[in-house]
Amino acid sequence: MHRRVPVARRNLLADGRSLVAGVLGVGLALMLVLLLDGLWQGVQRQATAYPDRVGADLFVTQPGIRDFLGETSSIPRSTVQTVRDTRGVDWADPVRGQFVVFDLHTKKVAAYVIGSEPGGRGGPWAMADGRRPRRDDEIVVDRALAQRHGLGIGDRLGIGGSTLRIVGLADASAPMTGFVFMAHATADELFRTPDTTSFVLVGTDRPLVVRGRLERQGLSVLSADEVAANDRRLYTDIFGSPLKVMVTVAFVTGALVVALSVYASVIARRREYGIIKAIGASGWTIAGMVVRQTLALSVIGLGVGAVLFLGARALLASLRPQFSVVLTTSGLVRALAAAILMGLIASVVPVRRVAAADPATVYRGT
């Protein structure tokens, strides 16, 4: 009976400790690829959280302002009434938006302040605990920011010379920073910007028609989708290049670990490969064995990487809640493609070593 010998598998499993070190190395590199991808997806979701969740169809902005998070918009407060008086507008509320940096436990903390009318739209869209601000000295912070800095309801925060009391925690998070919600009047006082607002949020059943009417009155209007797309582009422009570099380095690391692991295994078994060659196996057959070994190591590494990723994501969620890590199908497919590519690239050096092996090795001592 003719039975095939699974040389690649046997070689791979021959030395448990080497296998563990190799699989861990590849797994860590692939975990990093998955983690960076997940962080990136999370940043993109967080970047568009406000326009996605606040429930407005249109944003009236200062002319030239095209995103929510990046720029500081300033329009006269009287714009709110102009918008409310426009036919087809169901509701319109002013919102002040501005980044702020404050000191907490001797560290700089950046947060995006959102000032909205008490009882109006534009404030926290979902509360995790407590209530929305009613008075001028009250604020709501997002749950991730609170968790990260050990803040709770009743605590006080010093922002821009004012001391404000936390009355609620919002179920929201901003990319690498945080949201602080307060009354519009509080934000006006904080930023010394009376009689102005940043945006007017508009709710309507007919956004296209209403947008046309508002623009004919000389107002600058963006749809919620446009604001979200521009915010996403803003973050892509900032973090895109460094992220690509990090993913490339992680990929190269993984490929080198696979190559090193399989190469060491090939060297340890060069005599066996000599025997296989001596009994007539072609160079292609032997190369195929090595490629199978590198691919198997990469795929096992991906499995380990996925498990490590899930652990790291859970750890991050509890220790560093400001980072949102999102696993997507496309992210998994990219990681699988990276693992296969790693295996193929990593096979080059060991394949060359085996191809150069002399069948006469068989007759030498070890």
Interface positions, 320-349, toward other proteins (CB under 8 A): 320, 322-323, 349
Measured distance CA(83)–CA(94) in Å, rounded = 10
| 191, 200, 211, 354: which one binds other proteins (CB under 8 A) | 191
- What type of residue is 2? H
Contact indicator for 98, 192 with CB cutoff of 8 Å: no
| 7, 8, 12, 31: which one binds other proteins (CB under 8 A) | 31
Measured distance CA(77)–CA(195) in Å, rounded = 5
Tokens of residue 319, six digits: 């220790």
The distance of closest approach from Cβ of residue 126 to other proteins in the complex, given in angstroms and rounded to an integer, is 25
- Measured from the CB atom, is 132 or 211 closer to other proteins? 211
The distance of closest approach from Cβ of residue 263 to other proteins in the complex, given in angstroms and rounded to an integer, is 6
Applying CB under 8 A, the span of 15-23, 45-53, 136-144, 208-216 interacting with other proteins comes to 15-23
Q: Tell me whether strands 138-142 and 156-159 are parallel, antiparallel or unpaired.
A: unpaired
Q: Is 10 in the site for other proteins (CB under 8 A)?
A: no
- Measured from the CB atom, is 267 or 360 closer to other proteins? 267
- Measured from the CB atom, is 206 or 271 closer to other proteins? 271
Q: Which residue has the tokens 């030395």?
A: 15
Measured distance CA(162)–CA(290) in Å, rounded = 67
The distance of closest approach from Cβ of residue 240 to other proteins in the complex, given in angstroms and rounded to an integer, is 8
| 128, 185, 268, 341: which one binds other proteins (CB under 8 A) | 268
Measured distance CA(329)–CA(280) in Å, rounded = 44
Q: Is 13 in the site for other proteins (CB under 8 A)?
A: no
- Measured from the CB atom, is 37 or 130 closer to other proteins? 37
Measured distance CA(51)–CA(230) in Å, rounded = 11
| 13, 110, 208, 360: which one binds other proteins (CB under 8 A) | 110
Is the four-CA dihedral 148, 149, 150, 155 of positive or negative sign? negative
Site for other proteins in 215-254 (CB under 8 A): 220, 234, 237-238, 241-242, 245-246, 249-250, 252-253
Q: Tell me whether strands 179-183 and 196-197 are parallel, antiparallel or unpaired.
A: unpaired
Site for other proteins in 295-324 (CB under 8 A): 312, 316, 320, 322-323
- Measured from the CB atom, is 179 or 323 closer to other proteins? 323
| 177, 298, 324, 347: which one binds other proteins (CB under 8 A) | 177
Q: How far is CA 100 from CA 114, 147, 177, 333, in A?
A: 10, 19, 10, 38
Measured distance CA(278)–CA(287) in Å, rounded = 15
The distance of closest approach from Cβ of residue 313 to other proteins in the complex, given in angstroms and rounded to an integer, is 11
Q: Which residue has the tokens 């940096």?
A: 101
Q: Give the x/- contact pattern for other proteins in 124-153, rule: CB under 8 A.
A: ------------------------------
- Measured from the CB atom, is 113 or 169 closer to other proteins? 113
Q: Give the x/- contact pattern for other proteins in 39-78, rule: CB under 8 A.
A: -----------------------xxxxxx--xxx-x----
- Measured from the CB atom, is 75 or 89 closer to other proteins? 75
Q: How many residues bind other proteins (CB under 8 A)?
A: 72
Collect all residues with Cβ–Cβ distance below 8 Å to 337 and sequence separation of at least 6.
none
DSSP string spanning 153-218?
TT-EEEETTEEEEEEEEES---TTS-EEEEEHHHHHHHHT-TTEESEEEEE-S-HHHHHHHHHHTT
The distance of closest approach from Cβ of residue 19 to other proteins in the complex, given in angstroms and rounded to an integer, is 10
- Measured from the CB atom, is 312 or 339 closer to other proteins? 312
Q: How far is CA 20 from CA 4, 301, 359, in A?
A: 26, 10, 30
